[in-house]
Amino acid sequence: MARIGASLSGIELVLLNRLNEASTAATLNSLHLATGKLINYPRDNPTKFMQISAFQSQLSTVAATMDNVTQAASLFSQTQTTMSAMETLLGNVRTELLKDEARTLTPAERAEAQAKIDQYLADFEALVGTSIDGRRPLNGSANFNIQGRNYSQVSNLTVYSTAGDGPVVTAEPARLFYAGTDRYAAANATIRVTGAQGYSGEIIITTDDTLEDVAALINAESDTTGVLASVSDNTLTMQSSTSGSSAEVIVATIAGTFTTTGGVAPGVAYGKSTTYGGTPAISGYVTRAATQAELAYTGSGSNPGANAAITITGNLGSTTIEVLTTETMTQTAEKINNDSHKTGITAAVSTVGANEVITFTTVDYGTNATIDIAVDSGTFAVTGGHGNGSASGDDAAAVINGFTYTGGTSAAPAELRHREKTAEFADPATIQVTGNLGTSGNIVIGATDTFQDVADLINAETGATGVHAYVDENDLVLRSVTTGDDAEVSIAVIVGPFTTVSGTTSDTGEDAVTGNSNVRGNRFAVSNAGFRFDIEFAPDFLYAFDSMTIDGGGLTFALSTSLAHRSTIAIPGLQPELLGGLSGKLSQIATGGAYSGLDGNTSRAIRILDEATAQFTRAQGSVDGFHNAQVTSASNLLSAMQDDIDDAIDQTDGFNEEEELVLLAKNEALVQNAIASLAILGQQRASLVDLLKQIAGLL
């Protein structure tokens, strides 16, 4: 009996265990199906639970960042739409201007076109102030905050990104400036020059000395003083050979008058050492200003010397002009200026001696600023440039935040200058001029001949010598027709005195030099350690510019899951009074502006519009680039990250709905089987009791 009872209890225990196991498994299957997870509590699998928690945290960060990206995408999508509308308005303005390109509109038609231009510009300005998602990104509020900018020095500055602290002041040499009179010393004087290395002896200067003579006297003592002198037109510059606070230039006037400017006190200048501040900064100085390309045509009196058809080609394109002797030089220049928007070249008339001269000048500066004049028929001889009817400018050079940027220079001709205060010869002389083509005959100079008289004599032999002469204020300039290091000009003095400013009797040209690709004209593209900006200096600006600091601003977005990384874009203000270039500002072509009304202003107005459009297009490109390269890329990356994390969670969790359904059905079946077995066992137990009773005779 005992053995039978134990056996039955054991079977019951097994069945109860199986029921419990199957019931627990079925409950767990139901939980998995309800939550969609295999691991719901740390006890399920501590290691995998921690992994899944980390993945879910990353997923939350990605989702939050995706919200930021979505907001940025909305802002920039709307900004792009607004800018597209602004671009259309600029195109509409150009269409109205082109109606009077040939200056054929009637006054009424011009008034109608101007009224449309005014409306388009008003609509344009209204769009500048458009509020997009609570911001006005196009009115300048999305730009970096720039402090200390001097607009007479820096005509344009666009900051793209900032880095850490920068030099508030870049190391500079000491400089003093002296202004002459007609390129001669302004007064008699005796001076002493002191620099970081020592002081000079007494330097005696008279009004008969050219500024080049004065520079030569100072440079003769530069080894002793550490001060170097140079001349540009009517300005003598005295500069220390080193930079920093120890550099100095001191000019003591012992006798007479020698007035200088540019120092901390009369006759005293000190250099500057590099200093650093707490914000990104821009500082430095321009060592060479960019130049325009120039060519000149000398007429006969106030009219062209011959009929001609010429094709003028510049940066923007070409135009053909008919030159007539029945028209004045002013009328010819007006024809050229009427097409300046096609070529990028303007014309101005001046009088030299008995003849008027048309000077062709590029609007732009630098080696990319070019002029080419081809004579299609007739005669139209131009001088200057490369000697073949073409010319190009030179790029600027500067030291910016301690780095030197040097642009290219065009090929230069050989040149000699003779200077007299009255632009007349005081003494008779006979000279011979030699150039690439050969040597002239004797050129006889009378004691009262003007520079123009002698220039005419030299130019009569240009075909034999390759040397052209012209008058530049009180200088007679002898210049080679060709450029490059093969070009030459030399003078042989046969009779009498004939001096040159340089003190030499020969000169050779210079080949073109390719400069830094980041320099174009007066514009410098600077990129250093994450600090990126474009800076353009005002035409003819030289030497130190006022330091500028950037104290934040721009639009900043969290487009990355990294808290340390933020994406910033700066959008300059696009108001009409801010858009434009060397030709003027967009606001100036509206009614009341200097270049409104079409007619004679049409060509310049088109140039202004084109320069403004180019500036606007740069800003538009920046917005498009940020949207595409930053926002869209971030969205794509975050979407991919989200998918990867979801996959990682799925792989770690290992949940398979179909498998769970099969297991649930199996476990529920096991539960039913266990219950059924227990029921059978109960029946067997009851039958066994009846059997025992019968055996005992109880039934």
pLDDT of residue 45: 61
Same domain, 198 and 116: no
CATH number of the domain to which 562 belongs: 1.20.1330.10
Partners of residue 250 on adjacent β-strands? 194, 268
Across 104-108, 399-403, 529-533, 539-543, which has the greatest mean pLDDT? 104-108
Regarding pTM above 0.85, the answer is no
- Model confidence at 533, pLDDT cuts 50, 70, 90, reads very high
Share of the chain above pLDDT 90, in %: 63
Q: Which residues contact 126 (CB under 8 A, 6 or more apart)?
A: none
More confident residue, 19 or 144: 144
Look at residue 51 and tell me whether its pLDDT is greater than 80: no
**Other beta carbons less than 10 A from residue 567's beta carbon:** 20
- Smallest CA-to-CA distance from 150 within 611, 537, 527 is with 537
Same domain, 424 and 491: yes
Same domain, 504 and 602: no
Q: Parallel, antiparallel, or unpaired: how do β-strands 475-483 and 467-472 relate?
A: antiparallel
| Rounded distance between C-alpha atoms, residue 446 and residue 449, angstroms | 5
- Model confidence at 4, pLDDT cuts 50, 70, 90, reads very low
| Per-residue tokens: 416 | 């000699």
| Rounded distance between C-alpha atoms, residue 296 and residue 352, angstroms | 12
pLDDT in tens, 541-582: 998 899 898 887 778 887 777 766 778 888 999 999 999 999
pLDDT of residue 570: 87
- Write the single-letter amino acid at 458: I
Query: Is residue 284 included in any domain, yes or no?
Result: no
Same domain, 257 and 314: no
Look at residue 6 and tell me whether its pLDDT is greater than 60: no
**Other beta carbons less than 10 A from residue 350's beta carbon:** 11
Task: Out of 357, 392, 427, pick the residue that ends a domain.
Answer: 392
More confident residue, 171 or 366: 366
User: Which residues in 99-126 are b (16+ Cβ under 10 Å) and which e?
Assistant: bbbeeebeeeebeebbeebbebbeebbe
pLDDT of residue 219: 96
Residue 341 near residue 330, CB atoms below 8 Å: no
Provide the CB-side half-sphere exposure for 122 (13 A, CA).
7
- Model confidence at 699, pLDDT cuts 50, 70, 90, reads low
Query: Is residue 592 included in any domain, yes or no?
Result: yes
SS3 of residue 445 by DSSP:
strand
CATH number of the domain to which 431 belongs: 3.30.70
Q: Which domain holds residue 422?
A: 413-508
Query: Is residue 149 included in any domain, yes or no?
Result: no
pLDDT of residue 19: 74
Mean pLDDT of the chain: 89
pLDDT of residue 41: 65
Same domain, 577 and 637: yes
Q: Which DSSP string do the residues of 318-372 spell out, in sequence order?
A: EEEEEE-TTS-HHHHHHHHHHTHHHHSEEEEEEEETTEEEEEEEESS-STT-EEE
| Rounded distance between C-alpha atoms, residue 379 and residue 402, angstroms | 51
- Smallest CA-to-CA distance from 287 within 395, 365, 210 is with 395
- Total domains in the chain come to 5
| Per-residue tokens: 321 | 């002009």
Look at residue 594 and tell me whether its pLDDT is greater than 90: yes
Work out the burial of residue 223: count CB atoms within 10 Å of its CB; fewer than 13 is exposed, 13-18 middle, 19 or more buried.
exposed
Same domain, 495 and 435: yes
Distances (CA, A) of 277 to 164, 283, 547: 10, 12, 11
Provide the CB-side half-sphere exposure for 58 (13 A, CA).
18
| Rounded distance between C-alpha atoms, residue 641 and residue 651, angstroms | 15
Same domain, 591 and 560: yes
Work out the burial of residue 182: count CB atoms within 10 Å of its CB; fewer than 13 is exposed, 13-18 middle, 19 or more buried.
middle
Query: Is residue 513 included in any domain, yes or no?
Result: no
Alpha-helical (H) ranges within 238-378 are 329-338, 340-343
pLDDT of residue 563: 64
- Write the single-letter amino acid at 137: P
Same domain, 355 and 442: no
Residue 567 near residue 161, CB atoms below 8 Å: no
| Per-residue tokens: 340 | 């300046």
Sign of CA dihedral 347, 350, 352, 356: positive
Same domain, 678 and 648: no
- Model confidence at 267, pLDDT cuts 50, 70, 90, reads very high
| Rounded distance between C-alpha atoms, residue 236 and residue 211, angstroms | 6
Same domain, 604 and 571: yes
**Other beta carbons less than 10 A from residue 533's beta carbon:** 24
Query: Is residue 130 included in any domain, yes or no?
Result: yes
Alpha-helical (H) ranges within 266-382 are 329-338, 340-343
Work out the burial of residue 697: count CB atoms within 10 Å of its CB; fewer than 13 is exposed, 13-18 middle, 19 or more buried.
exposed
Same domain, 607 and 634: yes
| Rounded distance between C-alpha atoms, residue 569 and residue 143, angstroms | 8
pLDDT of residue 7: 47
Same domain, 326 and 268: no
